Structure 1
Amino acid sequence: MISKRLKEETTPHHNKAEEGNFNTEIRQGTLSVEQYALFLQRNYWLNRLVEEHYGTLSDEQKAELKEFDIQARIKSHLILEDLKKLDTTLSGNNMPYPDLAFEELVGAIYVTEGSSLGGHMIHKALQKNSELADKDAFSFLGFYGDKTGLYWKKFIEALEGYYAAHTEDEDKIIEGAKKAFDYFIDVTKATKLN
C-alpha cells in the first residue's frame, strides 16, 4: 500500500513542517489573528503549488488523475476569503515552487489532502479561540466539514487505485510528497511575523 509507505517515509518531514507553525498556540487557544493570518498564508502557498502544477497538465494527464477529483479539492481561493475576513492581504512569496514531475504531483496532493485532515482538527480548536471565533474566517479549515473523513477515505482509495496501475511510480510519488513538505518547511522558515 502506497499510503502506508507515504505516511512512514514522510513522518519526519511532517513533524518538521509542524515546527514553528503555531501548534502550541493552536492547542492552547492563544493563536492571535496575526499568527492565524500567517498560518493561512503558508497554507496558501502549499496549496497553490499543487493547483498550479495541476493547471499545467495536459488533458490526458488530468484524465489519469480523474479519480482524485482535483477540481473539487481546490482550496486556495478559500484562504484568500479567510484573509479578507481577517482584514489581511496575501503577502508575497519569494520561494520558487519546486519542479514536480507528473508522478510527483500525486505525492504532493497527498500532502495537501493530509493537511485538510489535520486542518479539520485545527478548525475545531480555533473555533474555541475567543480572538478568532467571531471573525468567521474558517472557510479553508472547514472546507470539507463533517465529510473530512469521507474525503480522506476517497482520496486514499484514488491514491491506491492510481498506484495499482502505476507501481513503477512509487518512488516518484514518495519524492513528490517530500518535495511538498520541504517546500512548506522552507516557506515557514522564510515567513515570520514582524
Structure 2
Amino acid sequence: MPKALSDQDCEALGEKILDFLSMADEAGKTYDPRIVKLQRAYDTFEPGSNTTDVLAECVAAAAAFRPAWGAELSAIIAINIRRHNYPTSFQVAARNKAQADVATAAALPLAGSLGPVPAWTCPGAGTLAHPAHRAPVNAASIDHVVPVVDHWNSAGRFTDKATRAAWCHDTLNHVTLCGPCNSAKSAAATYIIVTGPNYSN
C-alpha cells in the first residue's frame, strides 16, 4: 500500500498519537478496549510502514475512544495529503489569468489608512455569507472550481503525481477569489486517507 504522506509528516502524526496514548494512560484508560486498539495501530506505525491503510486504522481507533482525537488526526492528515500530493504554487499561466480576472473586474477603490486602495469585484464563494463584493487587489488568490479535496477523493488518490499536477495547473478549473472566500470554500474538507489502484507519488 503506497504512502500518501512524507516520512516527516508521518513522524509528526505518530508523535500526536503517542500524546493521545499518554493522556489515556494518565486517565487510567490503558486497558480500555478502544485504547488497546489505538495502541495496536500505533505499534504498526513505524518508519517505512506508515501506509494509508495504517493511517486510516489509527484515525478510526482514536475516534472510537474520543471523536475529537479522530478529528484532530484527520485534520493533520488532510493538510499533509494536500501538501505532499499536489503542487504548492501555481504556474505563470495561472497567475496571468488571475491578474487578467482582477483587471476585468476592476471596481471603485476602497478606503484605506493611507488613501484609496485599488479594488476589484470578487465573485464570492456562492454563499450568503460570502456574496460578490469589492476586495483589495492584493487580496486576490487562485482557487480551484472543483476543490482539490474533491479531486483527491474521486480521482487523485488513484493517479500519479504528474497527473495530479496537470489537473492542479489547468486554468479552466481556476477562479480568482479573495482570500476569505477562497478559505470558505475548503473549510469542511475531508480527505479520504486510503489510496487506490495506480496511485503513486
TM-score (ref. length: structure 2) = 0.23
Q: Which has the higher helix share?
A: 1
Q: Looking at both structures, which has the greater relative contact order when contacts are Cα pairs under 8 Å and sequence separation is at least 6?
A: 1
Q: Which has the larger radius of gyration?
A: 2
Q: Which has the higher strand share?
A: 2
